[in-house]
Chains A and B, each alone.
Chain A
Amino acid sequence: MRRRVLYCGALLGLLYVIYGVLQVYNGVVSWWFGSDKLMQLGVKVFETHVPNTFPDPFSGLTLITIGLLFLAALYHSMRGFTRYKGYLFAAWLLAVTVLVLNVVEICASFLDAYYPLLYGGTPNFEWSLAVDAWGIAPHLLLGVLALPLYFDLKDFIRELIPGL
Chain B
Amino acid sequence: MMIRVALAGNPNVGKSVIFNNLTGSHQRVGNWPGKTVEKKEGVFRYDNEEIYVVDLPGTYSLTAHSIEELIARGYIVEERPDVVVVVVDASNIERNLYLVLQVLELGAKTVVALNKMDLAEVSSLYLDARKLERLLGVPVIPTVAPKKVGMDELCRKILEVARTKRQVVKVRYGNEFEEAIGKIERQLEGDKALEAYSTRWLAIKLLEGDEAVIKKVQRAASGGKVLREVEEIRKALKRKHGDLEMALINERYRVIKYIVERAVKGEKVLTASDYLDQALLDRYLGMPIFISILWIIFQFTFIVSMPFSDILSDIFAISSERLAGITGIARVDYLLFGEYGVLNGVGMVLSFVPLIMTLYFTMSLLEDFGYIARAAFLMDKVMRKLGLTGRSIIPMILGFGCNIAGVYSTRIIPVEEDRIVAIVTNPLMLCSARLVTFVVIAAAFWGSAAGSVVLSLYILGIALAVLVALVLKRSVFKGRVSPFIMELPPYQIPSLKVATTQMWVRASLFFKKAGTVILLGLLVVGLLATTDVSTLSFTQDIERSLVATIGHALQPIFAPLNWDWRLVVATVFGFIAKEIVIGASAMLYGVSEEEFSNFLALHYDPVTMYAYMVFVLVYVPCVATIAAVKHETLSWRWAVFTIIYEIVLAYALSLVILLIGRTFFPGV
Q: Is A19 positioned at the interface, with any CB of B under 8 Å from its CB?
A: no
Residues of A within 8 Å of B293, CB to CB, are 94
**Nearest chain B CB to A36's CB is how many angstroms away?**
12
Task: Give which listed residue, A62, A90, A104, contacts B295 with CB less than 8 A.
Answer: A62
A162 and B285 in contact, given A83-B279, A90-B276, A97-B296 (Cβ under 8 angstroms): no
Answer yes or no: A141 CB below 8 A from chain B CBs: no
Q: Is B668 an interface residue (CB 8 A)?
A: no
Say yes or no: A90-B289 contact (C-beta < 8 A), given A112-B310, A118-B311.
yes
Given A34-B448, A65-B285, A160-B492, A101 contacting B144 (CB threshold 8 A): no
**CB contact between B282 and one of A31, A72, A85, A164 (< 8 Å): that residue:** A72
Assembly CA distance A59 to B273 (angstroms): 26
Across the interface, B275 reaches (CB within 8 A) one of A58, A65, A156, namely A156
B414 CB to closest chain A CB, in angstroms? 24
Q: A118-B311, A163-B149 are in contact. Are A61 and B291 (CB under 8 A)?
A: yes
Task: Say yes or no for B491: interface residue by CB 8 A criterion.
Answer: yes
User: CB-CB < 8 A to A72: which residues of B?
Assistant: 279, 282, 285
| Contact assessment for B289 and A94 in the assembled complex, using a CB-CB cutoff below 8 Å | yes
Q: Which chain B residues lie closer than 8 Å to A61 at the CB level?
A: 288, 291-292, 295
Interface residues of A in 42-72 (CB under 8 A from B): 58-59, 61-62, 64-66, 68-69, 72
Select the stretch in B188-196, B232-240, B298-306, B405-413 that faces chain A.
B298-306
Given contacts A58-B295, A72-B285, A104-B300, contact A160 B493 (CB under 8 A): yes
Cβ of B351 to closest chain A Cβ, rounded Å: 14
Residues facing B in A142-163 (CB within 8 A) are 155-157, 159-163
Whole-angstrom distance between the Cβ of B383 and the nearest chain A Cβ: 21
CB distance from A8 to the nearest CB of B (A): 18
Contact code string B114-145 (vs A, CB < 8 Å = 1, else 0): 00001001100000000000000000000011
Are B146 and A101 closer than 8 Å at their CB atoms? no
B143 (CB) vs chain A CBs: closest residue: A163
* CB of B451 closer than 8 Å to a CB of A: yes
**A159-B122, A163-B144, A163-B146 known; A89+B276 contact, CB < 8 A:** yes
Do residues A68 and B303 form an inter-chain contact, with CB atoms below 8 A? no
A61 and B293 alpha carbons, distance in the complex (Å): 11
**Per a CB cutoff under 8 Å, which of A64, A68, A119, A164 touches B118?**
A164
Q: How far is the CA of A94 from the CA of B310 in the complex (A)?
A: 29
Write the nearest CB–CB distance from B371 to chain A, whole angstroms.
10
Give residues of chain B (420-467) contacting chain A, Cβ–Cβ below 8 Å.
448, 451-452
Taking the nearest CB of chain B, how far is it from the CB of A2, in angstroms? 14
Q: Is B598 an interface residue (CB 8 A)?
A: no
Over the window 303-342 of chain B, the binary record of Cβ atoms lying under 8 Å from chain A Cβ atoms (1 yes, 0 no) is 1101100110011001000000000000000000000000
The answer to whether A162 touches B492, judged by C-beta atoms less than 8 angstroms apart, is yes
**For residues 82 through 112 of chain A, which have their beta carbon under 8 Å from a beta carbon of chain B?**
82-83, 85-87, 89-91, 94, 97-98, 101, 104-105, 108-109, 111-112
Specify the main secondary structure of chain A where it touches its partner. helix
- Residue pair A31, B300 in contact (C-beta under 8 Å): no
Which of B146, B303, B311 has the largest number of chain A CB atoms within 10 A?
A: B303
Asked if B278 and A83 sit within 8 Å, CB to CB, the answer is: yes
Chain B, interface size: which category? 35 or more
* Nearest neighbor of A164 in chain B, beta-carbon distance: B118
Chain B proximity of A96: nearest CB distance (Å): 11
The proximity string for B residues 636-653 relative to A, scoring 1 for CB distances below 8 Å and 0 otherwise, is 000000000000000000
Nearest Cβ distance between residue B95 and chain A, in whole angstroms? 20
For A115, list chain B residues within 8 Å (CB).
307, 310-311, 314
CA distance in complex: A129, B292 (Å): 25
User: Are A162 and B295 touching (Cβ within 8 A)?
Assistant: no
Which residues from B are CB-within-8-Å of A105? 299, 303
Task: Tell me whether B272 is interfacial, beta carbon within 8 Å.
Answer: yes
CA distance A94 to B292 in the complex (A): 9
Verify if A125 is at the interface (C-beta below 8 Å from B).
no
Taking CB atoms, residues of chain A closer than 8 Å to B306 are 108, 112
Q: How far is the CA of A112 from the CA of B312 in the complex (A)?
A: 12
Residue contact A58 to B291, C-beta cutoff 8 Å = yes
Tell me, in angstroms, the Cα distance from A62 to B291 when the chains sit together.
Answer: 8
B residues in contact with A163, CB < 8 Å: 118, 144-147, 149
B579 within 8 A of A: no
**Set B273, B274, B307: member contacting A112, Cβ < 8 A:** B307
Chain A residues, Cβ within 8 Å of B282: 72, 87
Q: Which residues of A contact B314 (CB under 8 A)?
A: 115-116, 119, 121
Q: In the complex, which residues of chain B have a beta carbon less than 8 angstroms from the beta carbon of A112?
A: 306-307, 310
B25 within 8 A of A: no
Contact pattern, B 611-630, Cβ under 8 Å of A = 1, otherwise 0: 00000000000000000000
- Chain B residue contacts of A121, Cβ below 8 A: 314
Decide yes or no: A83 and B275 within 8 Å by CB, A33-B448, A160-B491, A163-B147 being known contacts: yes
Residue B495 CB within 8 A of the other chain: yes
Closest to A58 in B: B295
B271 close to chain A: CB less than 8 A:
yes
Pick from B14, B285, B304, B311: contact of A68, CB under 8 Å: B285
Q: Choose among A59, A83, A162 the residue that contacts B146 (Cβ–Cβ < 8 A).
A: A162
| Those 5 A-B pairs whose CB atoms lie nearest each other, nearest first | A86-B275, A163-B147, A163-B146, A62-B292, A90-B279
A-B contact pairs, 29 of them (CB 8 A): A31-B451, A32-B452, A33-B448, A58-B291, A62-B291, A62-B292, A65-B288, A65-B289, A68-B285, A69-B285, A72-B282, A83-B275, A83-B278, A86-B279, A86-B280, A89-B275, A89-B279, A90-B276, A90-B279, A104-B300, A105-B299, A108-B304, A108-B307, A109-B307, A112-B306, A119-B315, A119-B318, A160-B493, A163-B118
> Told that A33-B448, A59-B295, A90-B279 touch, could you supply 12 new A-B pairs with CB distance under 8 A?
A62-B295, A65-B292, A86-B280, A89-B276, A90-B289, A101-B296, A101-B303, A108-B303, A112-B307, A115-B310, A157-B272, A163-B146
